[in-house]
Amino acid sequence: MNKELAIKLRGVFGFPVTSFKKDLSLDLDAQRRNVDEMTKHPFCAIVAAGGTGEMYSMTVEENIAVVKASVEATAGRMPVVGGVGYNTSMGIEMARGMEKAGAAALLVMPPYYTNAPTEGLYAYYEAIGKATALPLSLYSRDWAVFTPEMVARLCERVPTLTFWKDGQGDARKYQRIMGAVGDRLAWIGGIGDDCVPAYFAVGVQAYTSSISTIAPKLSLALADAGLKRDFAKLDDLMKKFVHPLYAFRDKAKGYEVSVMKAAMEILGKPAGPVRPPLVPIKPDEEQAVRKLLDGWSAWL
C-alpha cells in the first residue's frame, strides 16, 4: 500500500497555512474553507499542520484538530498528510490521533533537541514509525542532517518510511542520497518553490509548495515544467514570479509564513495572524505585497 501511494504522489503537495482568529485561537471553519478551495486543484496531496502550518506553535490536540478539519474539507478528493514532531511521546500521540482523524500519511519533523546524537535520532523516527501503520515522510531540515549511509540505515529501522522530504537545499548531497538509496523511497523537494529547478534537475517526483496557498495554478505549472525538464519555462516562471516573492520573504525571519498569510488576506482568503514567535509583516509592507500580487493576475 505504501508503495502504491508513493507512486501516485507526483507533482505538488499543497501546503495550507493554519488559520487563526484575531485572538490566536484556531479558526477551523476558515481552515476547511481554504483547504476546500485548494483541493479544487489537482495537487497530489495536502499537508496539514506542517511548517507553513505553524505546527510548532500548536498543542498536540490543536494539530490533530487541524488535520481532522483538513480531512473533512478534502472529502476524499486527495490524501491528507499530517505533520508530527516535538518529542517521541508527543509525536506518537499526534501520529495516532491523526491516523484516527483520517490522515493518509505523516510528515515527521525534526525532534526538539538540536544536538541529538545519531542513535537518538534513529530511535525517535523508529518509535513514531511503529506507532501507526501510516506511511512516513521524514523531513530533513535544520539540524536533522543525514548522510546517504544514515538514510539507508533509517530505511532498515523504519519499514513505514516511504517519502524523503529534503529541506536542506543541497542538491549535490541530495543527489548522492538518492543514488545510494534508489527507489526504496519517493523523493520530494521541500525547502521552497525557489528550489524547484534544482530539485527536478536531480530527479524528485514532487515538491511541497507554499505558493499553493495563494496561486495553485502557478505551483502546478512549476511542477509540470519540472517533471518535463523544461528548464527554459522554469527559468521564466522563477524570474517573473517566484524570485520576487522569495526576495520579499527573506526580509525577516519567519516571513515565509507571515508573507503568505498577508497575501492570503489581501486575496480574501481567511488566514488570520501568525502566532508568536513569528511576527506579522509591517504595516508599510502590505502595499508591496499588493503590488507583487498585481503581477500575478494570470495565476490567481
Which residues are 189's β-sheet partners? 166, 207
Residue 1 confidence (pLDDT) above 80: no
Give residue-wise pLDDT tens across range 134-176. Answer: 999 999 999 999 999 999 999 999 999 999 999 999 999 999 9
- What is the chain's mean pLDDT, rounded? 97
Q: What is the pLDDT of residue 255?
A: 97
Measured CA to CA, the distance from residue 84 to residue 56 in angstroms comes to 9
Q: How many CA atoms lie within 13 A of 277 on its CB side?
A: 4
Residue 2 confidence (pLDDT) above 90: no
Give residue-wise pLDDT tens across range 191-214. Answer: 999 999 999 999 999 999 999 999
Q: Which letter does DSSP use for residue 100 in this model?
A: H
Strand ranges, E, within the chain: 11-14, 45-48, 80-86, 105-111, 136-140, 161-166, 186-189, 206-209
Residue 62 confidence (pLDDT) above 90: yes
C-alpha cell at 236: 521564466
Annotated catalytic sites, by residue?
A: 139, 165
Q: What is the pLDDT of residue 214?
A: 98
C-alpha cell at 110: 525534526
Q: What is the pLDDT of residue 291?
A: 96
Helices (H), ranges, 9-59: 28-38
Calculate mean pLDDT across residues 215-235: 98
Cβ pair 154, 122 in contact under 8 A: yes
What the chain holds in terms of domains, given with CATH numbers, is 2-228 (3.20.20.70)
CA distances from 113 to 84, 130, 180 (A): 15, 21, 28
Q: Which letter does DSSP use for residue 45 in this model?
A: E
Closest by Cα among 12, 4, 36 to 269:
36
The type of residue at 218 is: L
- Its pTM stands at 0.97
Count of other CB atoms within 10 angstroms of residue 202? 18
Residues 6+ apart with CB under 8 A from 290: 266
Q: What is the pLDDT of residue 4?
A: 86
Which residues are 161's β-sheet partners? 136
Give residue-wise pLDDT tens across range 231-282. Answer: 999 999 999 999 999 999 999 999 999 999 999 999 999 999 999 999 999 9
Calculate mean pLDDT across residues 50-59: 96
Predicted confidence band of residue 3 (pLDDT cuts 50, 70, 90): confident
Measured CA to CA, the distance from residue 149 to residue 75 in angstroms comes to 40
Residue 189 confidence (pLDDT) above 80: yes
Cβ pair 131, 95 in contact under 8 A: yes
Give residue-wise pLDDT tens across range 103-141. Answer: 999 999 999 999 999 999 999 999 999 999 999 999 999
